[in-house]
Amino acid sequence: MEGFMDRARSGGRGLLGTWAKIPSLETLEMLAHAGFDFVVIDLEHAPLALDRVYDMIFASQRLGMAALVRLPDHLGSPIQPLLDAGADGLLVPRITSPGVADAITRRMVFAPEGERGLGFTSRAGRWSLMPMQDYIRRGNEQCLRMVQLEDWTSLESAADFAGVPHVNGLFVGLGDLFLSSGRPAASPEVQALVRKVLEVTRGAGVLSGIAAGTPAEARQYLDLGYRLVMVSNDATLFGKAAAETVRATLQAAEAR
């Protein structure tokens, strides 16, 4: 059976996703019907409880979308339960040190190479109905272990992070990069860095990821060759659609 990493590495365009912040299975269903390839359930910037994240992982996968989860920080306490829940991978925010990247991604890989505990009787192991070797192979080979590089120094040193043994994806964090550098995503300097990181990932054989605010920007990153491209988030998509509905309705009423 094809796993997430196989899909993400396959030819053709990269995969399109969005952040999931609303604890609603109905919202996930709408995203799946809309055609998103994956969601990243956001524990960093949304007050999601672990049991609800479990439900969201299950629902997303049953709806045909891959379910990734962004950890709340790089301390890593939810790693084991999220992987036991069957998440297709984890994103770790605000990584600035290859040593930290190594320490946290080792916890996502089974021994003897890593430190992940055996949870064969969990959902990830199909409640012990999956052959043990398949369970271990999926965990080690098909689980995304992506670190987010979100400051200028880290992004310029992308090759150091791509060389960490268990890191298999680099994610460009343009929002926090803007906060620390003052350079917007559209600036030539940032776009040059975006291309440099993409080249690094290709050379190292790891996945590239980036988030965009608009469809046009997301299309640009897909055309560049980024393998995981995210556009907007569920809350913003709904909020903007609602605001536009109100605006258009009232504008039409006032024009009479």
| pLDDT digit string, tens, across residues 11-70 | 789 999 999 999 999 999 999 999 999 999 999 999 999 999 999 999 999 999 999 999
Alpha helix ranges (H) inside the chain: 4-9, 25-34, 50-62, 79-84, 98-106, 132-141, 152-156, 158-162, 174-181, 188-204, 215-224, 234-254
Q: Per-residue pLDDT for 75 more than 90? A: no
Residue 202 DSSP label = H
User: In this prediction, what percent of the chain has a pLDDT beyond 70?
Assistant: 99
Task: Give CA–CA dist 168/134, Å, rounded.
Answer: 19
For the chain, the domains span 4-231
Region of poorest pLDDT, from 102-106, 138-142, 180-184:
180-184
Letter for the amino acid at 163?
G
CA angle 223, 224, 228 (to 5 degrees): 85
Cα→Cα distances 87→6, 23, 81, 195, 248, Å:
15, 16, 9, 29, 40
**What pLDDT is attached to residue 118?**
96
**What pLDDT is attached to residue 30?**
98
Task: Give CA–CA dist 37/156, Å, rounded.
Answer: 29
Average pLDDT over residues 188-195: 94
Residue 239's DSSP bridge partners are none
How are beta strands 89-92 and 15-20 bridged, if at all?
unpaired
Q: Give the global pTM.
A: 0.95
User: In this prediction, what percent of the chain has a pLDDT beyond 90?
Assistant: 89
Average pLDDT over residues 132-156: 96
**What pLDDT is attached to residue 256?**
67
Residue 111 DSSP label = T
Virtual torsion, Cα 42, 46, 49, 53, nearest 10 deg: -30
Buried b (16+ CB within 10 A) or exposed e, 66-101: bbbbbbbebebebbbebbbbbbbbbbbbbbbebebb
Letter for the amino acid at 58?
F
Task: Give CA–CA dist 132/125, Å, rounded.
Answer: 8
Letter for the amino acid at 100?
V
Q: Are 91 and 68 in contact (CB under 8 A)?
A: yes
What count of other Cβ atoms lies within 10 Å of the Cβ of residue 6? 11
pLDDT bin (cut points 50, 70, 90) of residue 215 is: very high
Average pLDDT over residues 237-256: 89
Q: Are 4 and 88 in contact (CB under 8 A)?
A: yes
Class of domain 4-231 as given by CATH: alpha beta
Q: Per-residue pLDDT for 138 more than 70? A: yes
For the purposes of burial, counting CB atoms within 10 Å of the CB of 112, is it exposed (0-12), middle (13-18) or buried (19 or more)? Answer: exposed
Residue 89, both tokens: 């991978």
